[in-house]
Amino acid sequence: MTSAHPHDTSIRALYAAFLDGWNRRSGAAVASGFADDGDMIGYDGTHHHGRLAIAADFRQIFGGHQTATYVAVIRSVRPVAQGVAVLLAHAGMIPPGAADVDPRFHTVHTLVAVEEGGRWRISLLQATPAAWHQHPEAREALTQELRGLLAAAP
């Protein structure tokens, strides 16, 4: 078992700010936690490189498309090396106009955080589909866990 990262709270907050920016449909807010040369690989494999490009790309995406809302549970934050950590989360997407997560769009978020000048920044955030074709019980368990988070939300 890996010990928790000493900056666990800061790294969790970095991910929470990303989700908040996404759910508010703000390209600037999505990008604000990224390092200048940070990368984001979306659910469909699209690669966005650099904080400014991420902001511009998502400003355009949010302006032209209804996007799903994320609800997520962080599974771990662990150190990789001095000034580097990995956060692993499972996220569900609530499609536009819906009130529930759609299990077809469950996602694994992998976030690599780096410490730059005393602040944690996102170096890489990758969204990977969590289809779990061989383990439908795991997909169903995640669906129920995410629904529980939705029910507990104010």
> What is the pLDDT at residue 152?
87
CATH, residue 95: 3.10.450.50
Q: Kindly state the average pLDDT of the residues 13-20.
A: 98
For the chain, how many structural domains are there in total?
A: 1
Residue 136 belongs to domain spanning: 7-152
Question: Is residue 2 situated within a structural domain?
Answer: no
CA-based nearest residue to 128, from 90, 96, 101: 90
Please give the Cα distance from 13 to 38 (Å, whole number).
17
Question: Is residue 99 situated within a structural domain?
Answer: yes
Question: Is residue 84 situated within a structural domain?
Answer: yes
Which pTM does this prediction carry? 0.93
> What is the pLDDT at residue 1?
42
- Residue 5: band (very low, low, confident or very high) from pLDDT cuts 50, 70, 90: low
3-class SS at 82?
A: coil
Question: Is residue 1 situated within a structural domain?
Answer: no
Question: Is residue 35 situated within a structural domain?
Answer: yes
